[in-house]
Structure 1
């Protein structure tokens, strides 16, 4: 039997065999196609962009003056696809704030937009018109046509917002914020590691004390024994809390729980309070254009997460021995 070059030990071979049986996890659980995100009924192709927008709002809402509950409202308003006389204030303000950050980064004079005015729509159209590579996907006839032109943007309103969000991410202002957040995350991670070490040591010390009391037929005072057991339980709770803090501080930016072929499994920071497992299935022909998103039952999620807990052993060994 010829082993792959990265199979160095029997354990490597063990994980390789396990992975062969567990790899086709999607074939076991089809999941349900997502079409409703945070109360917004969407086309399948718009689910990914909707999640992307929500994650952006969750990470940078403070800069763009977006409060709790407003990202959901933005998505719902866009999904309704109504012909409006005035663009909803919340959506208009979000566009204005994004444009202001982008303009500031480019050294341009910020425009002062009046309430219920459509000057920001002219700026939006002019800015997008500069991005020639987007012209095939966006209906650029809305340029300089105010609210009437904005209505003609359907079904591209969500994609226009994400375009502005992507542009804002490359500005100095947001890059600095990301660096600061990453620094704070590293501090939290180090603090959590220290707490975890201390909690483990305390639990071990208490268990050793209980074990010594019970050695050689010793009969510890019942009150002392109960107190030790109670202290051990408390120490264990502290340890579990430290473990959770360590996990929360591991990464700031979203990363997949697991990657398999054309599939990525996510527990996103903002969406569903990091409780719902989502599967992103990539389109082979257009890697980002026609992705399909799935959600699972609670039992299916547990099975998939167990699989994810095993698979990284194989992936890590491949990369570490390359």
Structure 2
């Protein structure tokens, strides 16, 4: 979010709301954000019909390409767009695991409507005397009028419900500016960058063998003042950068021997930036030729920018892609196991209830039909009531794991809970555990180059209001 290019195209007297990050624009389409952002009439690739993202390719009947930027550069081409022109738009397709086909609610509804239509047609045929002479045309008219009346009544009911829904407009409560993350005080303008880094570490801490609290320690060192803290950065911040650099270089078949005690890691970082072609306005090549002394001059914001750049670059490495695939398989296996547990618990609950009912009937028969006393009824019910409750709780627990909007594992990315056209995005991040755990990202208004982003938190007592808003808008 630190640098974007905003589309200037007008649609229905409104400006297009798409904003492209500088890295995607360069790697996927070969265009520089700083150049197009200066143009008054720049139209984004979506408006020009050139977008090659997965959504647009699916609309065109094509498969998603997956990550192709490294392949394009290895082929001597400037972007994925150029690679697709040279190799053909149908050449690349990201491999996906086969999934069981799900029958949607809409498909079921359509089938039900077809069946109902056939039944109605048969009924009308019967009423017209083709099969029963005693049914008159008048009966057919009555049936049709009844059906029309039901449709009209249902339509009127829906209109009333819609009016009530509009009148009772649920609003999101006011948030508080988030300047403390994981107990660390950070400048409000850096909150998003800190969350980005911490969320990356939450997702890939296992793959990178990060120690507990290591990510928070890095952020603390970056935004704390004092000479002692500056010396400590060599024990935390720089080793993290070196680890990511070695991961990236290994994936590119480059052998590096980096050390925090000399400037080799800093020059390698400059080479990595140069190859990526991003952030050239912030970090010109000469920055990394003067030695590690240039790094010491950088403020916390600039160092965090470098760290997040390396995190982004590492996402395309084979090591992290394999980690994501492995976690996806594990996540699906857990979901499948949870579904099995939910089904088993539901069946056990049903059987226990049937047993309890059977015991009551048996006791009633043994008394020759005389009603059971309250004490007798309680004695029979109490024997299985605790087991029924336990089975029900197990079913709810298993259902809780497979329900909700999060339909993929944490390593595959974090989806926003809600996004609206006013530029507000509601999140639940793994790295943020403070109640009520909801965070609001206010994208604000976009200038020519940079968005004015804000992050807001909520008070615990506002949780119910937020959930009500999500339920109304979701």
Which of the five TM-score ranges fits, normalised by the shorter chain? 0.7 to 0.9
Q: Does 1:91 align with 2:237?
A: yes
Q: Structure 1 residues 141 and 17 mapped into 2: Cα distance closer, same or farther (>3 Å)?
A: farther
Equivalence map 1:27-106=2 (5 Å): 29-80=173-224, 84=230, 87-106=233-252
Q: Does 1:233 align with 2:389?
A: yes
- 1:256 is matched with 416
**Comparing 213-222 and 244-253, the one that deviates more:** 213-222
Q: Does 1:272 align with 2:438?
A: no
Q: Structure 1 residues 169 and 30 mapped into 2: Cα distance closer, same or farther (>3 Å)?
A: same
User: Equivalents in 2 of 1:17, 1:211: separation in Å?
Assistant: 46
Q: Structure 1 residue 204: deviation in Å?
A: 2.5
User: Equivalents in 2 of 1:226, 1:210: separation in Å?
Assistant: 9
Aligned length: 303
| Equivalent of residue 284 in structure 1, options 445, 448, 465 | 445
Q: Structure 1 residues 87 and 186 mapped into 2: Cα distance closer, same or farther (>3 Å)?
A: same
- 1:316 is matched with none
> Runs of 5+ in structure 1 lacking a partner?
1-7, 313-322
Question: More helix by proportion, 1 or 2?
Answer: 1
- 1:127 is matched with 272
**Does the 8 A contact of 2:170 with 2:469 survive in 1?**
no
**Does the 8 A contact of 2:444 with 2:452 survive in 1?**
yes
TM-score norm. by structure 1 comes to 0.82
Q: Structure 1 residue 150: deviation in Å?
A: 1.0
TM-score norm. by structure 2 comes to 0.57
CA displacement, residues 93-132 of structure 1 (integer Å, 9 cap, x when unaligned): 11011001111111212x2223533321121123223444
CA displacement, residues 20-53 of structure 1 (integer Å, 9 cap, x when unaligned): 4566623xx1110101111222222211111111
Q: Structure 1 residues 21 and 151 mapped into 2: Cα distance closer, same or farther (>3 Å)?
A: farther
Higher relative contact order (CA 8 A, sep 6+): 1
- 2:338 is matched with 192
Q: Does 1:179 align with 2:325?
A: yes
CA displacement, residues 43-75 of structure 1 (integer Å, 9 cap, x when unaligned): 222111111111111111133231111111011
> Runs of 5+ in structure 2 lacking a partner?
1-150, 365-370
Q: Structure 1 residue 203: deviation in Å?
A: 1.8
Taking only aligned residues, the RMSD between alpha carbons, in angstroms, comes to 3.1
